[in-house]
Amino acid sequence: MKQSYPHYGKRTKELEANLLQQDREIFQRFLSYCAMRAGPKQLAKLRLYLLQFRDVVEKPLDKITKDEAIHYWGLVHRAPYEEHTKVAMRKTVKRFLKWYYRDMEMIESLTIPRHYVNKKKVNKAALIKPEELRLMLHSVQREFGTKL
One domain for residues 111 and 121: no
Query: Tens digit of pLDDT for each residue in 133-146?
Result: 999 988 888 888 77
pLDDT confidence band for 75 (50 / 70 / 90): very high
Residue 90 lies in a domain: yes
Q: What is the mean pLDDT of residues 65-86?
A: 89
Residue 39 lies in a domain: yes
d(CA 18, CA 14): 7
d(CA 129, CA 146): 23
pLDDT confidence band for 124 (50 / 70 / 90): confident
pLDDT at 121 over 80: no
One domain for residues 95 and 127: no
Residue 5 lies in a domain: no
* Strand, helix or coil for residue 14: helix
One domain for residues 77 and 46: yes
pLDDT score at 122:
74
Q: What is the mean pLDDT of residues 85-104?
A: 90
Task: Provide the whole-model pTM.
Answer: 0.74
| Residue 44, domain CATH | 1.10.150.130
Domain of 140, in residue numbers: 117-148
d(CA 88, CA 81): 11
One domain for residues 121 and 147: yes
DSSP class of residue 17 equals: H
One domain for residues 36 and 90: yes
One domain for residues 112 and 122: no
One domain for residues 74 and 38: yes
* Strand, helix or coil for residue 33: helix
Provide the domain count of the chain.
Answer: 2
One domain for residues 39 and 64: yes
d(CA 20, CA 58): 11
SS3 content of the chain, % helix, strand, coil (to 5): 60, 0, 40
Q: What is the mean pLDDT of residues 97-112?
A: 85
Query: Tens digit of pLDDT for each residue in 18-45?
Result: 888 999 999 999 999 999 999 999 999 9
Residues sharing a CB contact under 8 Å with residue 32, sequence separation 6 or more, in sequence order: none
pLDDT score at 19:
87
- Write phi, then psi, for 119 (nearest 5 degrees): -70, -10
Q: What is the mean pLDDT of residues 10-14?
A: 76
Residue 18 lies in a domain: yes
DSSP string, 65-112: -HHHHHHHHHHHHTSSS-HHHHHHHHHHHHHHHHHHH--HHHHTT---
